[in-house]
Amino acid sequence: MKSKSPLIVSLIITLFLSACGPAPEPTLSANDVANTAVANAWISVTLTQAALPTATATLTPLPPTPTWTPLPTMTLIPTGVPATATLSAAQDPCNQPPPSEPKGTMVQVQFINKSNGSVSLSFGMEQANSLGECGTYGFSIGRFDSPVVNVMAGCYWAYGWVTGDKTSTTQTTNDLCVPDKSQIWQIQIGPEVVEFK
């Protein structure tokens, strides 16, 4: 029995010493780690929002996005030459404003702006009509507008200045003859060419 007692005594001493040792460190479960990460993220978001400047009345609003305008935005060059004005031989009457009350046939023309910008358009007669009437019209046509206007019957040239994303000039390559008032003549304005649709 004496041989068993040192074994029992050493076992008791080992148990006693291990019971007196430091307590084991607690560990976090996977759920506790995930919850801590979420809490830290919300703290970061809260601190970021608190650091942002407050909104004031001096903020510049964003410009509006381009929208289709249902009504045409065009203006006509002032018409008529005063009765007291005289034209020199070098001045072409077709390069002057049209008469305020033309006596000849009037036709309808629809300008369809496909130039991707606003257009300042000059629309001038090549030669006078049978009543000696002649003139050059001027129109400001908004982006994507398609106004219908009344002009004297005849053959025309067109030249326009396009402003927008890309500035350009647009012009006719052939005469645009609009002799008949029984229809609406459709003329398309592109970034470089003005032509019948």
Report the distance separating Cα 49 and Cα 51, nearest Å. 5
Task: Read off the pTM.
Answer: 0.55
Number of domains in the chain: 1
State the average pLDDT over residues 86-102. Answer: 76
pLDDT digit string (tens) for 126-146? 999 999 999 999 999 999 999
| 155: in domain | yes
Say whether 38 sits in a helix, a strand or coil. helix
Tokens of 62: 């964003």
| 32: in domain | no
pLDDT at 194 over 50: yes
| 64: in domain | no
Report the distance separating Cα 109 and Cα 188, nearest Å. 10
| 183: in domain | yes
Q: Residue 136 is part of a domain; what is its CATH number?
A: 2.60.40.3820
Residue-wise DSSP of 123-179: EEESS--TTS---EEEEEE-TT---EEEEESEEEEEEEEEEESS-EEEEESS-EEE-
pLDDT digit string (tens) for 43-65? 777 777 777 776 555 555 666 65
Report the distance separating Cα 39 and Cα 164, nearest Å. 51
Domain that holds residue 164: 104-196
At residue 83, the pLDDT reads: 43
